[in-house]
Amino acid sequence: MIGTALSRWTMSYFTAALIFLVGAQMVMVAGYGFPAVAAEAPETLILVHMMTIGWLSLLMCGALFQFVPVLIAQPLRGERLVLPALICLLTGLAALLAGFLQLAGVFDAAIPLLAVAGTLLPAGFVLICGVLGGTLWRVKLQRPARFVAVGLACVLVTATLGALLALLISGFLPALAEIDFRMQALPVHIAVGLGGWLSFTAIGVSYRLLPMFMLSPDRERATSRLSWWSGVAALVLMALASPIAALLETVGLAGAATAATGLAVVLALAALVLYGFDLAFFYRHRKRRIIELNSRAAQAAFLALALSGILLLALLATGTLERHVGALLYLVAFGWLTGLGLSQLYKIVPFLTWLECYGPVMGRQPTPRVQDLVMERRGWIWFAVYFLGVLAGTATLLVDQPGLFRAAAAATLLATLAIVVELVLARRLANVPDDKRLPEGASRPRLFLPTPH
């Protein structure tokens, strides 16, 4: 990736995402939203969308703007749309959160805030898919890029369903209320968003990042092909599950709909198992014998993904999925997705900072290593605290102890804040020795805004 053009607004996306992550964790520590109130309450919806849009989606978009060109060895097309997309997402998310506060009775407003959000958020995601899809278009896609392409299709479905739900709640689409659209669309909105846009895309990016950072063979394997096909089939079944169920129930075949949902779960778990085989291959065949902290911390995120699959099977077997779905989603969102995101940011931010600062003088001046921008001896403690906090939080949700959950959430908040501080120190070159920090011709990068041309 040395010599790759930097995406100018990637650090801005990362900064906004981290602000929302810290904000969401503060909300949980304060006892606002689930589990203190019902999962469908407006307070919980605020927390959920701070995580899924504010943190995870902004993180994913920022990463894709930088790494899609790396995946296909092509420059990013339409980069002028990256900033407008960020503005649409931030303003749309602000309107969405304010709309939920309005539903909770915090204030009254004449403006239909949810309808505004239902316009701005899809517009932002359409711009993002236009930039990334235009970059992928007419290029023969390798397996990691195919995962990303499916993820982009899923985010369009997720955003469309979210917009329709927002308009329905605002009273603009009464015809949809007559067909119980909310009950049919909400499961698809959640499954395709978490499973397709966020998880499928994260898997695709990891197929490129892990071999690159660990110097592992990255050739396409039969397991990766089967994982892709199994995952796509599972997503299609999940997307069609609700409308198929409604159709089959009208003709007395509700059991067939249940079988289709079960098949989707089996295919999704098969995709995860195959993905696990590929992960084991990357770690086992790496040329970098001593792996860096980001790859070690990622192992904990992969373990959380495996535990999520095991927990899903256990809840289905015991018939308690509906009761404990909050614990499952918490483990997926904070253990798997957030854990992987934070672990890779610990490498990506120093890497991009190194390219921005030292790339122009590489070969002409002595420069520090990328590893010199961080202090892994400090960092591993905070990742350990974070993942232990997630496990404790999941356990407290399973045993219905909201007070203990807040304590576990406080541990993850503390660890997240410490990791953010480490990223800021790396961005400011604070860990680099004075004699190597700024060689002649190098300049200190801005914290989160692009360097002026």
Length of the chain in terms of residues written: 453
Q: Is the per-residue pLDDT at 2 higher than 50?
A: no
Measured distance CA(147)–CA(290) in Å, rounded: 29
Residue 25: its H or E element: helix 10-29
| 3-state secondary structure at position 365 | strand
Buried/exposed 198-228: b ≥16 CB within 10 Å, e otherwise: bbbbbbbbbbbbbbebbebebeebebbebbb
What sections of 289-370 are H helices per DSSP? Answer: 293-318, 321-330, 339-358
Q: Is the per-residue pLDDT at 249 higher than 70?
A: no
- Residue type for 80, please? R
Place of tokens 């990042």: 209
- The first and second tokens of residue 155, run together, are 């985010």
Cis, peptide link before residue 452, omega less than 30° from 0? no
- Hey, where are the domains in the chain? 308-445
Read off the pLDDT band of 316 (50, 70, 90).
very high
Over residues 325-329, mean pLDDT? 95
DSSP state for residue 13 in the 8-state scheme: H
Radius of gyration of the chain (CA): 22
Q: Which residue, among 15, 5, 21, has the nearest Cα to 338 in the 3D structure? A: 21
CB-based contacts of 234, cutoff 8 Å, min separation 6: 195, 264, 265, 267, 268, 271
Read off the pLDDT band of 412 (50, 70, 90).
very high
Measured distance CA(376)–CA(345) in Å, rounded: 13
- The first and second tokens of residue 98, run together, are 């304010």
User: Sign (positive/negative) of CA torsion 453, 427, 283, 386?
Assistant: negative
Over residues 42-46, mean pLDDT? 94
Lowest mean pLDDT among 136-150, 178-192, 216-230, 258-272: 178-192
pTM for the whole thing? 0.94
Read off the pLDDT band of 388 (50, 70, 90).
very high
CB-based contacts of 448, cutoff 8 Å, min separation 6: 11, 12, 14, 15, 427
Q: Is the per-residue pLDDT at 203 higher than 60?
A: yes
Mean pLDDT of the chain: 90
Q: What is the 3-state secondary structure (H, E, C) of 59-103?
A: HHHHHHHHHHHHHHCCCCCCHHHHHHHHHHHHHHHHHHHHHHHHH
Q: Which residue, among 126, 158, 139, has the nearest Cα to 69 in the 3D structure? A: 139
CA dihedral of residues 270, 275, 280, 286 (deg, nearest 10): 160
292-to-55, 374, 415 alpha-carbon distances in Å? 24, 11, 19
Q: Is the per-residue pLDDT at 72 higher than 90?
A: no
CB-based contacts of 22, cutoff 8 Å, min separation 6: 413, 416, 417, 420
Report pLDDT digits (tens) over 345-360. Answer: 999 999 999 998 888 8
Over residues 267-293, mean pLDDT? 93
Measured distance CA(21)–CA(49) in Å, rounded: 11
φ, ψ at 426 (rounded to 5°): -65, -40
Over residues 139-160, mean pLDDT? 91
Contact 21, 416 (CB under 8 A): yes
Over residues 185-201, mean pLDDT? 92
